[in-house]
A and B are shown apart, each in its own frame.
Chain A
Amino acid sequence: MIPNLTLAPNDVTNPISSQPGIASPTRTVAASQTEILTVKNLSKIFGAKPERAQALLKQGLGRNEIFAQTGNMVAVDDVSLAVNAGEIFVIMGLSGSGKSTLVRLLNRLIEPTSGQVILEGRDIAPMSTPELRAVRREKMAMVFQSFALLPNRSVIDNIAYGLEVAGRKKADRYDIARAALTRVGLASYEKLLPSELSGGMQQRVGLARALAVNPSVLLMDEAFSALDPLIRFEMQNELLRLQKEEQRTIVFISHDIEEAVKIGGRIGIMKDGRLIQVGTPAELIQSPADDYVRDFFRNVDVSRFLEASSLMTKVERGLIACSTSAPSERYLNSLIDSGAECGYVCDEAGRYQGCVTPASLHKSGKRPIADALLRDVAAVPLTADLHQLATIALGQEHDVPVTDEQGRLAGVVSCRTILKQVMERRAA
């Protein structure tokens, strides 16, 4: 069987990485992959009369040349993407890459020059003002980098703002706002003014304000970038916790790759207004589209995203297929002849049973081969990351077997490979 080298993007079976305390990368958990937000050929060109700039863009000119010729700035250039229900989609890019403009095109805080933004089947771009207002009140909410809390209103009135402009009754909106405030852990602060709160708490209020309108899509524009590293870390965990409770669709803008990798189910990388690659963190690390993408991960600990499936080699020698009750002796000679250090035993159904050495087969003698299996050699799933592989390799003398979802032997990862990868991470 040919080992499956590509990662299953919706892989949820990752029992080891969901240890408590380790913030595991949230993979797209949604059982049904329904697209909730689709962006098609979305562009934004700033400046009067964008038509000429558009024409030049079609001719393949860069944004700097176009700016020099027309004075128009191409902020977002022909971006298409699809966000699935319940996932955190991170849009990553350096400053000036157009990511903040892109997120504002989604709720039309900035009017798109061309293209479509389809939310739950309806295109937002051509909507009239009242229709757009209804979408903003019911379907989309935004969290801002600068918090953007209203300084003259108390915390609870800030959170209730979205409900208030939508015309909800006072008692209703306070109930909902209180529930949202409790969810972000600030229940007792409702009467304070934003200026009386620390930055992290202010952003919790910002988050609660957005959650209060119960949006289909939550837009977060560099929501944690203005916070201290420790608080930022705490807020990221908070977001992941909330996400575990209720799978919300979130479009998260960030310039911080570690943040993107930590919270993003999928990441879209932007450069000069273009979306150059979209994928899970693992996909981006293992097959970056270009050096720009590769450079992003240069200083990041990517060991969590190097998975067994990409490190393993196919087993060519020492495969033993038999019933576990077959006598051990029978396979001794063929294993020695194959020159392999270990033999990998699979039953008739092809399920991996364990690993044997010539010594263990010899010792077991006439007893069934099940007796000869080495107790200390554990198999790992395809999704085991480098960290887990290294931990297992440390506890044994042999290569680490990798099994697929059906329990079949997919390959082995040699200790040498693990060591090499660990060294490379160190060097980086």
Chain B
Amino acid sequence: MNSSIFGKFADDAVNFLFSHFRGGFDAFSAALGAVIKLLEDGLGAVPFIAMLVILMGLALWRRGVVFAVFVGAALYVINYMGLWAQTVSTLALVVAATFFSLVIGVPLGIWGARNRRVEVVLRSLLDFMQTMPAFVYLIPAVILFGLGRVPAVIATIVFAMPPVVRLTTLGIRQVREELLEAGRSFGSTDAQLLWKIQLPNALPSIMAGVNQTIMMALSMVVVASMIGAGGLGEYVLSGIQRLDIGIGFEGGLGVVLLAIILDRLTESFGVKSKKSKKKVISTPAKPAAAGSTAQT
């Protein structure tokens, strides 16, 4: 099937990259592959029971007993289905993709917040990245990086990065103008404004972006199983190929449970720790020194 001029352009572009920067891509691929391998081996080395305790502990700390019980049950179900190894592999890919999405996405978001023109360009680029069907990314990824985990993670990064960029920009833009004014009036440099005022106050929004990015990475990792990402996605894929409802459902259930755990945990870091209750002191204690003049 012949494609039109747009298709040819995309084709030429990828071919050009492939033929001219092959060495670069190979090196990048190797580096990324090493990171993923390290993560997967690291997570894989943790015994199931230890992981169960760690995740339940996290759940207890961030959200409470009910969620901790849920996490325990979910992990038990996954293990019972015999999908623990696949789940760990998927988790490693999600963590790797999320990590790189944040490393690239947060600075891009900051840049967008500080420069209107950058934001306009970024916005159209992000719209494109988000609406392009996820499968499409698989093709150039395979051509440039071959089959396996590396192209899967790269396609995932492209697909999952937009939310954290957008929400970083939004969060920084939403910091109240008077706080910036106060910061400037005390002689802050631009970097001090960013680190001491803008980022801390944008943190809830950025964390919401991180949460979204993780969710999108998880959904993409399943799709990326088509180019050899492995993990739970591969299990689902084999269910599709064999038209085996049981296998497909079990793989899908594993993804859903992992998604719920990751979502609730990361979400809890976005809101302020719930133990700091708002108690407003409304009656100002009259300072002893001011007492004499304050009364008339």
Interface residues of A (CB under 8 A from B): 20-23, 104, 107, 109, 133-138, 140-142, 144, 146, 148-153, 161-162, 164-166, 183-186, 188-189, 192-193, 195-198, 200-201, 204, 209, 213, 219, 231, 234, 237-238, 240-241
Chain B residues bordering chain A, tally (CB within 8 A): 37
Residues of B within 8 A of A188 (CB): 285
Could you say which residues of chain B place their CB within 8 Å of the CB of A149?
182
> Which residues does B use to contact A, with CB under 8 Å?
176, 178-179, 181-189, 192, 196-197, 200-201, 203, 276, 278-290, 292-296
Alpha-carbon gap, A188 to B288, bound state (A): 12
Which residues from A are CB-within-8-Å of B185?
Answer: 107, 109, 136, 140-142, 219
One of B197, B287, B288, B292 near A150 (C-beta < 8 A): B197
Q: Which of B192, B281, B289 has the most CB of A within 10 A?
A: B289
A161: chain B residues at CB < 8 Å are 182-183, 186, 196
Which are the 7 A-B pairs with shortest beta-carbon distances? A185-B287, A137-B187, A136-B187, A148-B182, A162-B186, A142-B185, A148-B178
A144 touches B181 (CB 8 A): yes
Contact B187 A134 (CB under 8 A): yes
Q: Are A231 and B179 in contact (CB under 8 A)?
A: no
CA–CA, A213 and B182, complex, Å: 13
CB-contact partner of A237 in B179, B188, B201, B290, under 8 A: B290
In this complex, what residue of A is CB-closest to B286? A185
| Chain B residues with CB below 8 A from A141, complex form | 185-186
Given contacts A184-B287, A237-B290, A238-B294, contact A136 B184 (CB under 8 A): yes
Contact status B288-A185, CB under 8 Å:
yes
The smallest C-beta distance from B269 to any residue of chain A, in angstroms, reads 14
Task: Assess whether B289 is in contact with A109, with CB atoms less than 8 Å apart.
Answer: no
Which residues from A are CB-within-8-Å of B286?
A: 185
- Given A152-B200, A184-B287; A137-B278 close (CB under 8 Å): no
With A196-B280, A198-B281, A200-B284 as contacts: A165 and B178 at CB distance below 8 Å: no
Cβ contact within 8 Å between B186 and A165:
yes
Chain A residues near B285 (CB, 8 Å)?
Answer: 185, 188
In the complex, what residue of chain B is closest to A197 when comparing beta carbons?
A: B281
When chains A and B are docked, how far (Å) is the Cα of A26 from the Cα of B15? 80
Separation in Å of the B280 CB from the closest CB of chain A? 6
Q: Is the CB of B280 within 8 A of A197?
A: yes
Q: List 25 A-B contacts (CB under 8 A).
A: A21-B296, A22-B296, A109-B185, A134-B187, A135-B187, A136-B184, A137-B187, A142-B182, A142-B185, A144-B178, A144-B181, A146-B178, A152-B200, A165-B183, A165-B187, A166-B187, A195-B278, A196-B279, A198-B280, A198-B284, A200-B284, A237-B293, A238-B290, A238-B293, A241-B290
CB of B186 within 8 A of CB of A109, answer no
Q: Given A140-B185, A186-B287, are A237 and B296 neighbors across the interface (CB < 8 Å)?
A: yes
B4 CB to nearest A CB, Å: 44
* A161 vs B283: C-alpha distance when bound (angstroms): 26
Q: How far is the CA of A186 from the CA of B286 in the complex (A)?
A: 9
A238: chain B residues at CB < 8 Å are: 290, 293-294
With A195-B278, A196-B279, A201-B281 known to touch, is A150 a contact of B201 (CB < 8 Å)?
yes
| B280 & A185 in contact (Cβ 8 Å cutoff) | no
Chain A: CB-nearest residue to B193: A165
Assess whether A234 is in contact with B187, with CB atoms less than 8 Å apart.
no
**Distance to closest chain A CB from B142 (angstroms):** 45
Question: Among the listed A152, A166, A192, A231, which residue makes an inter-chain contact with B284, where contact means beta carbons less than 8 Å apart?
Answer: A231
Chain B residues whose C-beta falls within 8 Å of the C-beta of A240 in the assembled complex:
293
How far, in Å, is A309 (CB) from chain B's closest CB?
A: 27
- Across-interface contacts of B183 in A (CB, < 8 A): 161, 165
Residues of B with C-beta under 8 A to A201: 281, 284
CA gap between A244 and B34 in the complex, in Å: 69
Q: Is the CB of B288 within 8 A of A144?
A: no
Q: Which residue of A148, A166, A183, A196 is within 8 Å of B278 (Cβ)?
A: A196
B186 (CB) vs chain A CBs: closest residue: A162
Question: A237 contacts which chain B residues (CB < 8 A)?
Answer: 290, 293-294, 296
Q: Which residues of B contact A107 (CB under 8 A)?
A: 185
Cα-based distance from A211 to B181 in the complex (angstroms): 17
A17 to nearest B CB, angstroms? 14
Additional 4 contacts, C-beta under 8 A, given A185-B287, A185-B289:
A23-B293, A150-B197, A152-B201, A238-B294
B residues near A21, Cβ cutoff 8 Å: 295-296
Bound together, the chains give a CA A73 to CA B176 distance in angstroms of 24
Chain A contacts for B279, CB-based, 8 A: 196
Q: Could you say which residues of chain B place their CB within 8 Å of the CB of A164?
A: 196
**Given the complex, which residues of B lie within 8 Å of A146, measured CB to CB?**
178
Query: Which residues of A sit under 8 angstroms from B186, Cβ to Cβ?
Result: 136-137, 141-142, 161-162, 165, 209, 213
Residues of B near A153 (CB, < 8 A) are 200
Residues in A whose Cβ lies below 8 Å from that of B276: 193
Residues of B contacting A22 with CB < 8 Å? 296
For A134, what are the chain B residues with a Cβ–Cβ distance below 8 Å?
Answer: 187
A148-B295 in contact (CB<8A): no
CB distance from A44 to the nearest CB of B (A): 16
- On chain B, the residues within 8 Å of A23 by CB distance are 293, 296
Query: In the complex, what distance in Å separates the CA atom of A23 from the CA atom of B283?
Result: 23
CB neighbours (8 Å) of A189 from chain B are 281
Chain B hits for A162, CB < 8 A: 186-187
CB-nearest residue of chain A to B188: A165
Q: Determine how close the nearest CB of chain A comes to the CB of B286; give it in whole angstroms.
A: 8
